[in-house]
Amino acid sequence: MNTPLPPGSAARSEAQPVFWYGIPHGYAKLDLDPPRERIEALVQDLNTLPVEQRAQASQVLQFYAGMVTTLNKQNVHMFAVGYHPDDDGTVVTSTLSISTVPASGHNAKLVIAGLAGSAADDPETGLRPLELPCGLGYLAEEKKRTVAVGGDSHTPEAPARGDVWQGTVAVTGSGTPDIIVVQMVTPALHLADVYRDILLGVAHTLTFTDPAEPAVLAESEPSTRSAAAAIRNDFG
Residue 11 lies in a domain: no
Has residue 1 got a pLDDT over 70? no
Domain-embedded: residue 229: yes
Map residue 130 onto helix, strand or coil: strand
When comparing pLDDT for 120 and 169, which is higher? 169
Domain that holds residue 221: 27-235
Please give the pLDDT value at position 131. Answer: 87
Rounded (5°) CA angle 202-205-208: 130
Q: How far is CA 41 from CA 135, 163, 173, in A?
A: 43, 37, 41
Would 126 be classed as within a structural domain? yes
- Of residues 27 and 232, the one with the higher pLDDT is 27
Domain membership of residue 88 (yes or no) is yes
* pLDDT of res. 235: 37
Q: What is the pLDDT of residue 221?
A: 46
Q: How many domains does the chain have?
A: 1
More confident residue, 191 or 117: 191
- Please name the residue ranges forming H helices in 84-163: 108-121
Residue 18 DSSP SS3: coil
pLDDT(6) > 60: no
pLDDT, tens digit (0-9, with 9 covering 90-100), for 143-197: 988 765 444 445 555 456 688 999 999 888 765 678 889 999 999 999 999 999 9
Residue 56 reports pLDDT greater than 90? no
Q: Identify the top-confidence range among 103-107, 121-125, 161-165, 232-236.
A: 161-165
